[in-house]
Structure 1
């Protein structure tokens, strides 16, 4: 079955969105931001997940094969490709980690164990590389270049890596190759996200820094609800979606749908559905989605339909409708509560958890 949300997005419309993503895919399997645009490893995987959820298995598998083929010997990917050419050689830790989410999601949707086994070495190498960038406080440096690693840690990226580690651990157990060091790293990272905001470079003007600790599973329960409520009026524009940046009159579809996923993870289905309905003004008749709208003058900007915006629409529809086996991949991103200890309190050794 294809995801659908009654009264908002039909099964046929959702499938057409998957097809629209497939039309952007290059012969190599890469899914660029838009036709003629660049490809980055994170948004490419997000698109592959949407292809999987809409039943476009051949296209999805080609996308994952591109990731497997372009992975470097150290387990990383370059930040940016254009066609077959590398435009930025640096490594982004979040971009590299996200392959784990895509492969685990693929297994949840298809049940294809052989695929998971085939992709496991790629996932293992990627997460091992990412964890080589973990800092003493549990946070993970955002990038590594020719001059070495950048020790600056970004909240959004680390929150996304939290989900990647959760999915990687599930995959490790599935293929019977447990990774206990990953579990330690996950709890250290989660603790930093929950208890030590000072170890991250603050970017409070961006909506992603607001909701990503919830989306990536580091934050749940009353603290998560309070976090969302605290800045709701800063980012949410009634009837249109959410701002990407708090001081600009610009709503974006991908961020809106990611907030939908975060709200769904908290059980706030009514607000999630309202936002999902609100952002449908970005839908193009061909099934794709425009990136955003400058609502002050009613102009779409940038003037592009983006693969990753369309992908988040599909994933949000799946989460709200509980359609495919992968519908809970964001809902289940939280670490098991019984493993967090007594209220996840700091010890005398914080921020280093041992």
Structure 2
């Protein structure tokens, strides 16, 4: 746990209490379900594990990554959900869920400095990334999932592909740190970024647009797809559509519902564009939704003045810890979601 914990952005004991909440939900095999009695999914499991790393709970975080390694399928993927020690939903495997392990492994290494850990999980990351890039089209976007039999479900999500874009940055940094050259991954990341910026027609082709979701708005900023003036303009364009003054960020633009995790992620996106004042103001207000056990309620319906759903998800607590780190600089991983840093050779970085 960080030795010096500033209290400007969060209450005293916040880091300790948040970690205890996640630890109390973690199962003996290392899985971190959403909450007691619910399932775990690979993406949200990693989000909670990153919270444990920030709190200095290295053994528990590494146990979480070991669970992923133990459950990785031969093709490098994971099913969409697990419960009670086995796969709970085998209808599909989602590409952004699979890729996110690279972000988690790199995040833990940045904090722990443990190169043996990085080397141990390199084969897991490599298989996961190769699975994901097998779903990339000639246009650059990445199919969102495969079905039970491994057939691609052929469409792409802006939020999902943006998350993959950050995961590819982390995967490339792992490869570089271990002396492994992966130019194909760099080319794939470049093509994905170009598709996200310049080919909007390649997303939401077979279903209703996801533009009503706030994550489609800010995730391309959070993950470094957009930066500088373009990123600032993107956030400003829909600020009034998604942000409720004094409460937080809506999950969708047509419901009176603010959610804590989206507000945390928007906090980090604001930091990425230099809007530190806005970020701090948004984040400070989220602590009103912390319960006595250290957990945070998922969301709040302000029209009804009611907590909803009545769930305290581990990934929400993970997001609270990530945003706290980004604001207060608690760990060496504090800038992971507020900047892009590729440790590749200059010739390859020029392709990014």
TM-score (norm 2): 0.94
The reply to whether residue 34 of structure 1 matches residue 35 of structure 2 is: yes
Task: Give unpaired runs (5+ residues) of structure 1.
Answer: 345-354
Aligned to 2:202: 199
2:252 equivalent among 242, 245, 257: 245
The reply on whether 1:155 has 2:152 as its aligned counterpart is no
> Could you tell me whether the CA contact under 8 Å between 2:9 and 2:328 is conserved in 1?
no
Query: Aligned partners of 1:233 and 1:333: how far apart in 2?
Result: 27
The verdict on how the C-alpha distance between 1:2 and 1:290 changes in structure 2, with shifts beyond 3 A counting, is farther
The unaligned stretches of length 5 or more in structure 2 are: none
Conserved 8 A contact 1:3-1:318: no
| 83-92 or 203-212, larger mean C-alpha shift | 83-92
Return the match for 2:231 from 224, 248, 266.
224
Instruction: Report whether the alignment pairs 1:128 with 2:148.
Output: no
Cα distance change, pair 33–209 in 1 and its aligned pair in 2 (3 A): same
Give distance in 2, aligned partners of 1:131 and 1:321.
Answer: 35
User: Is contact 1:244–1:251 with CA below 8 Å preserved after alignment?
Assistant: yes
Q: Contact 1:33–1:307 (CA<8 Å) still a contact in 2? A: yes
Task: Give the aligned CA root-mean-square deviation in angstroms.
Answer: 1.8
Q: Is the 8 A contact 2:81 2:87 kept in 1?
A: yes
For residue 187 of structure 1, what is the aligned residue in structure 2? 190
Q: CA deviation at 1:340?
A: 7.8
Q: Which whole-Å deviations, capped at 9, do the CAs of 1:274-327 have from their partners, x for residues lacking one?
A: 110122221112211000011111111110110000000000000001120111
Asked whether the equivalents of residues 3 and 324 of structure 1 are also in contact (C-alpha less than 8 Å), the reply is no
Structure 1 runs, 4 residues or longer, greater than 4 Å off? 2-5, 334-342
Report if the CA contact (8 A) 1:242-1:256 is conserved: yes
Query: Does the residue aligned with 2:13 lie in a helix, a strand or coil?
Result: helix
Distance 1:34 1:10 in 2: 23
Structure 1 residue aligned with 2:272: 265
Q: For 1:1-354, list aligned pairs within 5 A.
A: 1=2, 4=5, 6-10=7-11, 12-89=13-90, 90-147=92-149, 148-201=151-204, 202-333=209-340
Shift of 1:85: 2.4
CA shift for structure 1 position 2: 5.8
Contact map agreement 2:186 2:348 (CA 8 A) in 1 = no
Further displaced range: 64-73 or 333-342: 333-342
How many equivalent residue pairs?
343
Structure 2 Cα separation of the partners of residues 71 and 203 of structure 1 = 29
Q: Distance in 2 between matches of 1:299 and 1:305?
A: 14
Return the alpha-carbon distance in structure 2 between the equivalents of residues 107 and 340 of structure 1: 21
